[in-house]
Structure 1
Amino acid sequence: MNERLRDAVIDRNFVGVYSGGTAVYVIMKRRDEFDLLAIPAEDHGENENGHILSKSIDADGVSIIFQFVLKERTPEALRDDLKKIRLEREGRASA
Structure 2
Amino acid sequence: MTHSQVEPKTSAEDAGPGSRVPAGRSWLDRYFHISDRGSTLAREVRGGVTTFMAMAYIVLLNPVILSVPDASKATLDAGQVTTATAFAA
Band of TM-score, shorter chain? under 0.3
The structure with the largest alpha-carbon Rg is 2
Between Structure 1 and Structure 2, the one with more helix by share is 2
Higher relative contact order structure (alpha carbons within 8 Å, sequence separation ≥ 6): 1
TM-score, structure 2 normalization: 0.28
Looking at secondary structure, tell me which structure has more strand per residue.
1
